[in-house]
Each structure stands twice: as structure tokens, then as C-alpha cells.
Structure 1
Amino acid sequence: MDISSALEYRTMLSWLTAALGELAGAVFGIILFAWWLGGPAVTAIVWSEGDKLLAVQFLAAWAVVTALYFTAAWLIRRARRA
């Protein structure tokens, strides 16, 4: 393998790595956006159907999972800095 082929391979590999990183970030962003809109939206739909207890239970579960996510994210950031 000559030098130019090795450089092309590294360049393509770095582009592929960057593209996959951007794709993963976009997918995570879409999931997070859907999570933030979906929790209250499902609660509103269930509430409007008349099952207020189920709506409150769903909203409470959504809030707990969201709080656990923020706690885990904070702990991960703290562990990376240490």
C-alpha cells in the first residue's frame, strides 16, 4: 500500500466516523424530542378519554424516567471529569 492510498483510507475512515457520529446524534435528538412531546401528549389524550387515574400514573412514570435520565447523565459527566 502506498502513501496516497493510506491517506485516502484514513480520510474516508474519518469521514465515515464523523458521519456516523452525526447520524447517532440526530437519532438521539429525534428520540429525545419525541420523548419530551410524547409524555405530555399521551397524558392529554388519556385524560381526554376520561381515565384520569391512568393519565396521572402515566405522567408520574414519565416524570420518574425523565428524572432518572438527568441523574444518570449528571453522574456520567461527573465520572468522566474525575
Structure 2
Amino acid sequence: MSRKEYLAGIGKAVLGTDARGPEPDVVVLPNGAGVCVVQPVRGGGKVYVAHDETVLFVPSSMDFATGLAAFLDGARTPRKS
């Protein structure tokens, strides 16, 4: 399993993806920052996953660039959320 696949698995677990739904999109982030897992359904969201396995969940209403900027600035979702 590649590091990208491993990080994507963390993001999919956070999203709680359903095998019956569409497969989430995985975007490799610039400068080796990690990956973003995007649930392509209404009401889904995006999970940015860093190499240290910390994550930032953002709702689907937030655009990719805004979420990425927050992620790169160090925003993270607490593990208990």
C-alpha cells in the first residue's frame, strides 16, 4: 500500500464513506502536504490528511482552496470530533 493510499484510507474513515455511494476522490496536496479526500455527494465534505495523520474536516460548502489554506496554516479537527 502506498503512502497516498494509506492517508486516503484515514480520510475515508473520517468521512464514513459508504460502499454503496460513489468512491471519494483523492487529491495529492502540493509540496507533499498530504492528501485531500473529497466525498462527491451533496452534504459530503472534504478531509485534508497530513503525513502525521492529523486531519481537517471541512463541509462541502467550503471551497477547496479555502480548506487547503486553513489546513496549511495548521488548522486541524480534534480527534474526538
More strand by percentage: 2
Shorter-chain TM-score bucket reads under 0.3
Please tell me whether Structure 1 or Structure 2 has the larger radius of gyration of its CA atoms: 1
More helix by percentage: 1
TM-score norm. by structure 1 comes to 0.23
TM-score norm. by structure 2 comes to 0.23
The higher relative CO (CA closer than 8 Å, separation ≥ 6) is in: 2
